[in-house]
Structure 1
Amino acid sequence: MTRVHDMGGRFGDGPVIPESQDAVIFPEEWHGRALALTLAAGFLGQWNIDISRHARERLSPKDYARFSYYEKWVSALADLLVEQGVLTLEDLLGQGTDASHPLASRALTVGAVEGVLSKGGPADRPSNIAVQFDPGQKVRTVRPAANRLKNGGHTRLPSYASGACGRILRLHGTHVLPDSNAHGLGEAPEPLYAVAFPASELWADPENRNDEVILDLWQSYLVPDE
């Protein structure tokens, strides 16, 4: 079962119109504040990036469709703060207490922001799972595109690429598996590959059949294409 966010290649949504290089990064002042708040809350260490992505996916379909980009971020963050016990619904409504918060010592300070952002959040990890595919090898994605560990859970395999045949371009190493990490099941690192798919494998009538789409996919998303 796919969620409303998984809309790649869907008909009826109109063309994708890239913004110009001169476009304003934050058209509205609160957009930058929403990004800063999300990063600062994540720094408290109560969830990981895959949990936060799944929180946005779980927004009501009606809300997801009508919310702007940063409205999705703020709404999902509010859900996470309550779900993870960082704040209460009363806190969000301005009805909480002014008592010192247990996580106050972990607050991201202004002076630490540059270092935190430059460090990033690497997801490469050692793994004892053997590499199964080599560059140039033909593979096929599993079908349907779904989390095999958690029913209705998070996955990074888009539905438009489910069951498609492609070829391995390169191995990225071993990385945290989002399908596991988003649900508190451990990082479960496994091999991650760049896989190239012909446009004709993904869509019945592509504008340019010789185009390719390159996706980064985990080994458990793939099977050999015999």
Structure 2
Amino acid sequence: MTRVHDMGGRFGDGPVTPEPEGEVFHEDWHKRALAITLAAAAHGKWNIDISRHARERLAPKDYARFSYYEKWMAGLADLLVDTGLVSRAELAGAAPDVSSDTSRTLRAEGVAPMLAAGGPADRPSDVPQQFQPGDAVVTRRISANRLVDGGHTRLPVYAAGACGCVLRVHGTHILPDSSAHRLGEAAEPLYAVVFPASELWAQPEHPKDEIVLDLWQSYLVPA
């Protein structure tokens, strides 16, 4: 079954409308949504993969009707409750705020340095590199997380079972399928894999276009 968030290349969702040049936020509250998400993440209770999965776990009806930053806020609310930083009653305004540890609070002056530093996901790994640039590979036919039923994965449905070519080796990186579920980093080789549009879609507008996806080794088999 196609997951509600896995929309790439799906028919019936309407055209993709490019953002106006230079426009980042459509509404002022979008800036605040980004800010509070960054500030909450600074407490170290979750990682980027857990955060992504929180948005994916929204009820399909809500996911379909929420705007981009509404999804962010809904996912953040779930994370705050799940990790005990905030209670449901506090979120609903039905209980007084409880004092919490502010030692890791992200101050305004710390935002720019944190964003500049990023969150590198490359890690050492004992998993041998299986592929080299130029190798033909096929993605797994089923794009599901093999560690957790219904879990997070970075292999999109539209690329499942497709044949491509390794373009570049990125080194070894944290496996999102494991990291999103607090099962450890499970780092393994990560590859940039190039696919012709005709391999991914039955009637691409430009069949000779190429799409490059970053895919972990466990998503791939030799062609």
TM-score tier after normalising by the smaller chain length:
over 0.9
Corresponding residue of 1:145: 143
TM-score (norm 1): 0.96
Give the direction of change, closer, same or farther, for the CA distance of 1:98–1:158 in structure 2 (3 Å limit). Answer: closer
Between the aligned partners of 1:221 and 1:87, the Cα distance in structure 2 is 36
Q: 3-state DSSP class of the match of 2:103?
A: helix
Q: Say whether 1:79 aligns with 2:73.
A: no
Corresponding residue of 2:133: 135
Between the aligned partners of 2:95 and 2:103, the Cα distance in structure 1 is 19
Q: 3-state DSSP class of the match of 1:105?
A: coil
Q: Say whether 1:95 aligns with 2:94.
A: yes
Q: How far did residue 111 of structure 1 move? A: 2.0
Q: How far did residue 98 of structure 1 move? A: 4.1
Q: How far did residue 19 of structure 1 move? A: 1.4
Q: How far did residue 106 of structure 1 move? A: 1.1
Between the aligned partners of 1:149 and 1:74, the Cα distance in structure 2 is 27
Between the aligned partners of 2:34 and 2:99, the Cα distance in structure 1 is 24
Between the aligned partners of 2:142 and 2:201, the Cα distance in structure 1 is 16
TM-score (norm 2): 0.97
Corresponding residue of 1:69: 68
Equivalent residues in 2 for 1:92-131, closer than 5 Å: 92-101=91-100, 103-131=101-129
- Runs of 4+ aligned structure 1 residues displaced above 6 Å come to none
Q: How far did residue 91 of structure 1 move? A: 1.0
Q: Deviations over 1:88-108 (max 9, x none)?
A: 00111123334421x211111
Q: Say whether 1:54 aligns with 2:53.
A: yes
> How many residue pairs were aligned?
223
Between the aligned partners of 1:160 and 1:177, the Cα distance in structure 2 is 20
Of all paired residues, the percent bearing the same amino acid is 67
Q: Say whether 1:2 aligns with 2:2.
A: yes
What letter is aligned with 2:173?
A: H
Match among 152, 155, 168 for residue 153 of structure 2: 155
Corresponding residue of 2:195: 197
- Structure 2: give runs of 5+ residues left out of the alignment: none
What letter is aligned with 1:197?
A: F
